[in-house]
Amino acid sequence: MFRYRDGDVRAFELLVTRHRKAVYNFIVRFVRDPAQAEDVLQETFLRIVKSADAYEKQAKFTTWMYTIARNLCVDASRRGKHRKAASLDAPVNGEADAPALIERVADAGATVDRQAIGRQMAERMQQAIAELPDEQREIFLLREVNDLQFNEIAEIVGCPENTVKSRMRYALEKLREALEEYRDLAQAAP
Amino acid sequence: MTHVEQQSACERLLDFAYGELDEAEAQKFRAHLEECGKCRAELASIERVRGAVKVALPALEPPASTSGALHAQLLHAAAQRRPAPRGKLLVFARKVMQHPAYAAAAMFLLVGGAVGIEWSRGRLLMPEHQLAQSVESAQPAEAKPATPEVPTPPKEAENRPTAASDPLVGSAPMQAAVPAAEPPVGGTAQSARGTEGGGYLEKATRKGDVAESDKKSSTRYYLGAQGNGLPMEVKPTPARHAAAHRASARYDRGGGDGLGGLPSMDDGRAQSAPFATAPAAAPAPPPAPSTRPSSVDGLMDSSEGKAEKTQLAQPRERREAKDANSAVAVPRAAVATKSPTPDSLRKRAVEAANANRCDEAVRLFDELERDHPRYHISARDRAGYVRCLRQSGREQQALDELNSIAPTTDHAAKNHAPPPAQRSAAPAEPQAASEAEPAQSKKKSGKKAAEPAKTSAPSY
């Protein structure tokens, strides 16, 4: 980031290449709309370009970047509060015969039954994550999807670390409850 | 392990589950897990959820159809941005250079500020006349020679007619009567001052600079207190030379150095041109009675020096306009408001007479009588006047003065109350008169005047 601030455009290209996928995953799980996620992703990096002169070495670049992305996601979530979120099960890009997002990662070694059970469990988990409150969901996503530490998450969302851990426990508890019903099926599956 | 320690250890379950404990703390927590069944159950639950989340939330790739365009747009926006210069001064300088209006404003401020500063310091004004300064300071034996560093005067002065540049000349017929002649270049500093013109014209030359000034074919005349006090360089046309010498000769006749008996011009450096060397030998008419106050010597008084300073403080344009319009009218006006007091004239005349500067004394007495006909001149002072008249060869005029001493004294006794100093000196007044014309003085001055005449011997 410092290289780009000093005028090295190649450094910015490297930043985009390195962080684009992780930021997109956070955004798309947060706003639950792939099209809106792309806009937010674009806006996130544009904000980074505009704010490059003001960037100081006060925190990790990822923390700064996820702070921008998270704020944009909160704004987008507020704007699309009443808008129906796109399902991860919907065909990608609106094509009828295209696979769903959830099918992009397939367990090649799993049997059909396990794939079916796993598919149902994933759907349920996605539904449970989507039903989490925003303050719990963002912490859960940042921790699970983007693998940020709790202190970094606390810095991003602007609350104490203990609050972050507390919210994380609440989110895990709800997800555990959603997962209970599939535990027997998963154990019974070959 | 106490309950408190166990509770604090259970609180670290989340950190242990997500691998945020260092190795030592992780080892301790593993030991705690062996003892705490609740933490073991919860840890298993968390691991199940995390496993399910990994399946439910696989890593997604941004859509390839739009990623290329987005990537290009981002790189374009990044390339458009220019790195900000470091330092506030550089930022300001860049802003100024990027906007022509800023650059013009900065240039205007720069030039305007410089001119304003120079103006406030007075450097844009022409310097004051150095001779006026030296006379004002009233330091004897410091007749400064004109310095060659005097700036070039405005061009209007060069185009000025000769009569205008020389207010001493007076009328045009007088100019025509005096033949043109080259100015004398001998001497250290020559001053010429016009009584009638109410001003003086000083031509300054130096011994060593004579040849050089001849090479340059340029002579500097300094228009002094009668004008604006500014030095003025005049090209040496024959008419100008003649005017300068007319003025010089006139004052040489009147008093010598042209500075009215000022002690500053009594030293060897500043001497008037000898009367015999003045080329303008044409007989000048006697000083015509002028309606304007013409005693220029009074211009050298300190009060008049201040007035001259005030005049110099005027804007340059105004002074130049005065020069261009009328070089004579300005001195007249200046002199009209700055005529010397009769007391000062009388004192200087008496001093000149006592110092045997008879030419100057006669000139000053003439001036006093002409400008202040009602002023009382004591008989003693008048005796000095008579003595100087005789030494100057003006016997008839001396005789007339002697005849007028007695009535004047009577008139003074009746109408004027002379100052105590004059009263105390009154018995000695008729001395000269009694010696010069014993019969007449005895008739006119009475007993009081006759008694001291017996004890005092004439000085001439």
Residue B15 has pLDDT above 70, yes or no: yes
Q: Is A118 on the interface with B (CB under 8 A)?
A: yes
Contact yes or no for B53 and A129 at CB 8 A = yes
Rg (CA), chain B: 48
Question: Which pair of structure tokens corresponds to residue B440?
Answer: 């007449």
Percent of chain B surpassing pLDDT 70: 34
The reported pTM is 0.39
Question: Which pair of structure tokens corresponds to residue B436?
Answer: 């010069």
Residue of B nearest to A141 (CA): B57
Q: Give A189's Cβ-side CA count (13 Å radius).
A: 17
Residue A75 has pLDDT above 70, yes or no: yes
Burial string for B105-134 (b: 16+ CB within 10 Å, else e) reads eeeeeeeeeeeeeeeeeeeebbbbbbbbee
| Per-residue pLDDT at B258 | 40
SS3 content of chain B, % helix, strand, coil (to 5): 60, 5, 35
Q: Is A61 on the interface with B (CB under 8 A)?
A: no
Quick one: average pLDDT of A147-151?
90
Which backbone phi and psi does B301 adopt, to 5 degrees? -65, 160
Question: Which pair of structure tokens corresponds to residue A108?
Answer: 């090649």
Question: Which pair of structure tokens corresponds to residue B345?
Answer: 């004239």
Question: Which pair of structure tokens corresponds to residue B420?
Answer: 């105590």
Contact yes or no for A179 and B48 at CB 8 A = yes
| Per-residue pLDDT at A169 | 92
Give me the residue from B50, B78, B83 closest to A144, CB to CB: B50
Q: Give B-chain residues touching A42 at CB under 8 angstroms.
A: 70, 73-74
Q: What is the pLDDT of residues B134-183, one digit of tens each?
A: 555 555 544 445 444 444 444 444 444 444 444 444 444 444 444 444 44
pLDDT band at B111 (very low <50, low <70, confident <90, very high): very high
CA separation for the pair B35, A156 (Å, rounded): 36
Quick one: average pLDDT of B96-123?
83
Q: Is A55 on the interface with B (CB under 8 A)?
A: no
Quick one: average pLDDT of B392-413?
67
Q: Considering chain B, what is the average pLDDT of its residues?
A: 60
Going by the DSSP 8-state scheme, the letter that residue B428 receives in this structure is G
Q: Give B218's Cβ-side CA count (13 Å radius).
A: 10
**Burial (Cβ within 10 Å: 0-12, 13-18, ≥19) of residue B76:** exposed
Q: Give A-chain residues touching B62 at CB under 8 angstroms.
A: 20-21, 24, 38, 41
